[in-house]
């Protein structure tokens, strides 16, 4: 799929090499790169009780100086990246912002809403909290899929689709459809689902395989038991056995806490760095 807009989230301290690598592949695919530079705000002022029992604002003496310095560094880096990308001859724009907490998630989501896919630079993992906030912002507050690890522009020969009949898994499949159509093979993996004889109707995954087959995908369906291992571990192992170069799966949160807490399988798959994963929610 060409002529996509890719929201590329990158930290202020990311080196030029990783940005240029992403820019090069975007240029080859004739895609538009929306490079989003992100910096976390310094810790905000806090409230404290004084000796007179009134609430006072606790403001570090150098807080404004730190804020101004970070803002200046962000603007300077954005200018550098604009110059860097301008020399590559691709369609691109650069946006830079700082945020904290829920505000940061909303800023992230706004950048993703007019994109086809979102991609996180691996350097963001150096700040786990920032990495987490960006993933939450994309997955819970925007309509696009999120890719981690690997190359978001690469052609995928074999895609492993982790399936469990849930709405997030279904949405992830729909978001990934252009990638699935371009792949040579799609392997649907179902984990720890009831056995066929315990469920009326067809075997799990066959309806999905039929739908994808109508689109022209070459699909196989496999049923797996985890045997005491975590689902995240089994997804990775089965994907490697299938020779998959991309995993597609749903992202899950914990009910009303979903803006800040991922399910165990989702969190484990976000933390691993060896396999490219496309998440949808």
Please tell me the predicted confidence (pLDDT) of residue 194: 58
Please tell me the predicted confidence (pLDDT) of residue 226: 84
Is 158-280 the same fold as 5-148? Answer: yes
pTM recorded for the entire structure: 0.87
- Average predicted confidence (pLDDT) for the chain: 87
Range with lowest mean pLDDT among 6-15, 165-174, 253-262: 253-262
What CATH code would you report for 158-280? 3.40.50.620
**Left if phi > 0, otherwise alpha if psi is -120 to 50, otherwise beta: which for 243?**
left
Please tell me the predicted confidence (pLDDT) of residue 149: 95
Please tell me the predicted confidence (pLDDT) of residue 200: 55
Tell how far CA 196 is from the center of its chain: 33
What CATH code would you report for 5-148? 3.40.50.620
**Domain range list for the chain:** 5-148, 158-280
Contacts of 207 by beta carbon, 8 Å cutoff, 6+ apart = none
pLDDT tens digits along 189-230:
998 665 555 455 567 889 999 999 999 999 999 988 888 889
pLDDT bin (cut points 50, 70, 90) of residue 278 is very high
pLDDT tens digits along 59-115:
677 878 888 898 999 999 999 999 999 998 889 999 998 988 888 899 999 999 999
Q: Helices then strands (H, E): number in the chain?
A: 9, 12
Whether 236 shows a pLDDT value over 60: the answer reads yes
Whether 230 contacts 264, CB under 8 Å = yes
Whether 50 shows a pLDDT value over 70: the answer reads no
Answer with the residue of higher pLDDT: 42 or 34: 34
DSSP string for residues in 74-129 = HHHHHHHHHHHHHTTT--EEEEEEEE-HHHHHHHHHHHHTTSSEEEE-GGGGGSHH
Whether 188 shows a pLDDT value over 90: the answer reads yes
């Amino acid at each position: 799929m060409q002529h996509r807009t890719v929201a590329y989230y990158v930290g202020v301290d990311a080196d030029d090499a990783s940005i240029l690598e992403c820019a090069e592949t975007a240029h080859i695919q004739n895609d538009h790169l929306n490079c989003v530079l992100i910096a976390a705000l310094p810790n905000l002022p806090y409230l404290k009780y004084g000796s007179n029992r009134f609430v006072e604002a606790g403001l570090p003496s150098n807080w404004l100086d730190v804020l101004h310095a970070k803002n200046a560094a962000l603007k300077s880096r954005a200018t550098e990246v604009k110059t860097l990308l301008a020399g590559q001859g691709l369609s691109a724009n650069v946006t830079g912002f700082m945020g904290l907490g829920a505000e940061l998630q909303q800023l992230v989501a706004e950048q993703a809403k007019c994109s086809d896919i979102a991609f996180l630079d691996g350097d963001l993992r150096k700040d786990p909290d920032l990495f987490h906030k960006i993933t939450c912002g994309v997955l819970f507050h925007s309509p696009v899929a999120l890719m981690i690890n690997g190359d978001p522009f690469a052609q995928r020969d074999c895609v492993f689709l982790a399936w469990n009949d849930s709405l997030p898994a279904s949405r992830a499949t729909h978001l990934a459809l252009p990638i699935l159509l371009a792949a040579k093979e799609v392997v649907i993996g179902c984990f720890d689902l009831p056995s066929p004889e315990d469920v009326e109707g067809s075997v799990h995954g066959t309806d999905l395989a039929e739908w994808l087959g109508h689109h022209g995908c070459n699909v196989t369906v496999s049923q797996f038991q985890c045997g005491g291992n975590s689902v995240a571990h089994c997804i990775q192992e089965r994907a490697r056995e299938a020779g998959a170069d991309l995993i597609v799966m749903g992202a899950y949160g914990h009910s009303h806490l979903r803006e800040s807490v991922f399910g165990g399988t989702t969190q484990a798959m976000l933390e691993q760095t060896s396999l490219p994963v496309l998440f949808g929610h």
